[in-house]
Amino acid sequence: MAMFNSSFPVTTNSSQELVDITSRLRHQVGKSGIENGVCHIYAMGATAAVMIQENADPNIALDVLDCLSGLVPGGRWRHDRIDDNGAAHIKAGLVGPSETIPVREGKLLLSTWQNVFLCDFDGPRKVRQVVVTIMGE
């Protein structure tokens, strides 16, 4: 079994943002030379996450952020007394820091409407690091 490790930076521009990283992941799969296996994506940072979601309608990302803000409103968490980002930590924990996607015939096995997003809940950030591990044959 072959293994390919890589990472790339992502810049965010808003306090909360979903950034489509699908094309960058497809590039990494191509560089790996792995035809069949899995691609694991991991967001570094306690207030960042990775999500698979639709990208055809930009309102979906806004709806996701609105939903999470409704579930986890800011300004009411004990951690806010330290650095005022308690809600960002909780949102990142709910979404989760990673996803694993099958690789078939050298391509990410995503459906027509699926894209991969880095979720930044405590931006803007000059650099959010995304780690990619691809394993297979």
- 28-46 per-position pLDDT tens digit: 999 999 999 999 999 999 9
How many other β-carbons are positioned within 10 Å of the β-carbon of residue 86?
19
Domain count, the chain: 1
d(CA 124, CA 100): 26
Domain that holds residue 73: 2-136
Residues 49/128, Cβ–Cβ less than 8 Å: no
What confidence category does residue 66 fall into, taking pLDDT thresholds of 50, 70 and 90? Answer: very high
Residues 2/133, Cβ–Cβ less than 8 Å: no
Q: How far, in Å, are 3, 27, 30, 122 from residue 118 at the CA level? A: 23, 16, 20, 12
**Domain holding 29: CATH number?**
2.60.120.460
Q: What pTM, to 2 d.p., does this model score?
A: 0.96
